[in-house]
Copies of this chain bind each other. A is one copy, B any other.
Amino acid sequence: MKLEKLVGDRFKEKPSDCVVDSHALMVRGGYIKFVANGIFSSYMPLKRITRKIEQIIREEMDAIDGQEVQFPVVMPASIWQESGRYESIGAEMARFQDRSGSPLVLGMTHEEAAVHLVREYAQSYAKYPFMVYQIQTKFRDEARPRAGLIRVREFTMKDAYSFHTSQEDLEEYYQKCHKAYERIYARVGVPEVISVASDSGMMGGSVSHEFMLLTPIGEDSIAICSECGYSANMEAAECIIEKETAESNTAECIIENETAESNTTKDSATEKLTKVHTPDMHTIEEVCSFLGSSPEKSCKAVVYQRNQDDSYVILFIRGDFEVNETKLTNFLGCEIHPAEITEESGIKAGFIGPVGLCDGVTVLYDRSLEDASGLVCGANEVDYHYVGLAMDRDVAGAEYHDFAKIRDNGICPHCGKPAIHISRGIEVGNIFQLGTKYTKSMNMTYTDQNGEIKYPIMGCYGIGVGRLAASVCEAHHDENGPIWPKAIAPWQVHLCAVRADQAEVKEAADRLYAELEARGMEVIYDDREVSAGVMFSDADLLGVPLRAVVSPRNLKQGIVEITSRDKTLSEKAPLEDAASVIENLFKTL
């Protein structure tokens, strides 16, 4: 392919609306064109990359007995009504009516379509297990598309669905798929991707993992234990609270040395609940500073409202912890939003506490407060707080659950050591154990060996192709452009004819181009009459693994200069052997 005819503009200036490198480089390199918020067209270089990624994914899915199928992009609302998600999913699902008024949706995931495809087929245990997958366009009306291909509204995804007759069989297949995913990331050039335990969100099910490429521009926060290797999405990571008790002192390591304080703590357990005047102090910080206390010794109230009826939920949590809203949502089983507190509610914003709270609200307690005493809290009266709150004495019968966000330097829920570090990551894939959520709701059954009717158990497995391409770019680039791994690079060799206006150069380069193509290599050939500078910066933007330069200076020496895009390799090959040298170099990359 001649670069001269490659559709798409390449340029130097970083577009002002690009905040992440992969986005900027994909725009600057003529990979994508913005069409609408979160919607892009792809030019040929990206299309070649994504097709190679898709083929790698396809091979790995086939290797674990996946059957490639195709579900519709446009689906009748009816199958989503069967599963209940037509109602439970919000604005992110695109809905419209056809010419006859029938409601349709755009597929954002295909559990329903998968069950619909196989439920007549798989009525006997003998048909199990099996997995079907597709690679196809999806649309999810994201509220905040960002960062180029990292978070879009329209995307191409491989989504796979497996069906099993036992949890053990699902788990075995889940592990197989986990390994296939590891091979996929290794093959596309990002072996550094890690898997982390995650929250299943709207997919249902319990066990799930996300595959994360760690990068500061990622939008997910991941808790990783530097001691045992435990990793989880912050949304899912259990928050372990170091208790200020005798036991906690015996733990190998605690973050803050609370020995001195814990003496006070023991005293404070006997402290009396006392109301104090705290005029115009609404935040934990203000109150603590006024009373000479600290956030760790306060009981903070965080107020939400349920989306469905705006009823109030008040969560009490130790002042130094943050609420993990995913845990709270999962616990409540419904969507919530931060509260707007009205006067009629009886809630005294800024002065909320667990003692003497008004009726008619749901009250929850985070585990960080369990057994805590000597706390500051609101007195449910304007301008008043309590000091000396002891949870077991003053809030008898409270139940404690895990609603807190895990913190940097926090305690690992797996090994118990305070070795948690929070990193940022891009989710480049996920796998879910779905259980029977969809088979039950959509009434898919099979007859087991004993003639009993049962619901099959499902797993589902996704990878976003465009996001993966962008993530590889994010992980492998320099200031001049992407450094595409050889397995997914748009071409294998970038051939430059510097001073192609000189017949000798043009002839030699044309010949080398023909020889490389004859060897089956994928060559992008730049024989434009432009400066070497323009040529090389275009080559950097296309990020092809090997660059070969034919130039008047090289010709004088009878050689071709070969360099790798990642700069680890620079060779000179005799002109006559250049094609074979390039072919062999490519193999060794």
Residues of A near any B CB (own CB < 8 A)? 5-9, 30, 33, 35-37, 39-44, 46-48, 50-51, 65, 67-76, 78-79, 91-92, 94-96, 98-99, 102, 104, 106, 113, 116-118, 120-122, 127, 130, 132, 134, 136-137, 139, 141, 143, 153-154
Contact = CB atoms under 8 A, between A and B. Distances in A.
Contact of A96 (B40, B94, B132): B94
Contacts of A116: 33, 35, 41
A5 B96 contact: no
B74 A106 contact: yes
B143 A5 contact: no
Contact of A121 (B8, B76, B78, B91): B8
B72 A44 contact: no
- Counting every copy of the chain, the complex holds 2
Contact of A5 (B35, B65, B106): B65
A7 B39 contact: no
A531 to B, nearest CB: 17
Given A7-B130, A99-B92, A121-B8, A68 B44 contact: yes
A589 to B, nearest CB: 25
Contacts of A98: 94, 141, 153
Contacts of A74: 36, 39, 94, 106, 139, 153-154
B136 A35 contact: no
14 contacts: A5-B127, A7-B67, A7-B127, A35-B76, A35-B116, A36-B72, A36-B75, A36-B102, A41-B69, A44-B132, A47-B69, A74-B94, A94-B104, A99-B143
Contacts of A153: 74, 98
Contact of A42 (B69, B78, B102): B69
Nearest to A71: B41
A467 to B, nearest CB: 15
A66 to B, nearest CB: 9
Given A41-B116, A99-B143, A141-B98, A35 B72 contact: yes
A373 to B, nearest CB: 47
Given A39-B72, A91-B99, A96-B96, 5 more contacts: A40-B72, A44-B67, A47-B134, A98-B153, A99-B141
B130 A39 contact: no
Contacts of A65: 5
Contacts of A96: 94-96
A41 B139 CA distance: 17
A7 B127 CA distance: 8
A161 to B, nearest CB: 11
Contacts of A48: 68
A7 B132 contact: yes
Contacts of A6: 67
B39 A75 contact: yes
Which 9 A-B pairs give the minimum distances between C-beta atoms?
Answer: A96-B96, A91-B99, A36-B76, A42-B70, A44-B67, A39-B72, A41-B117, A47-B68, A99-B141
A121 B67 contact: no
Given A44-B67, A98-B141, A132-B7, A35 B113 contact: yes
Contacts of A51: 68
Contacts of A30: 121
A39 B77 CA distance: 13
Nearest to A76: B36
A9 B120 contact: yes
Contacts of A36: 72, 74-76, 78, 102, 104
A325 to B, nearest CB: 20
**Among A50, A72, A106, A154, residue most surrounded by chain B Cβ atoms (within 10 Å):** A72
A114 to B, nearest CB: 9
Contacts of A7: 67, 69, 117-118, 121-122, 127, 130, 132
B132 A72 contact: no
Given A9-B121, A33-B117, A98-B94, A41 B70 contact: yes
A357 B359 CA distance: 83
Nearest to A528: B126
A43 B141 contact: no
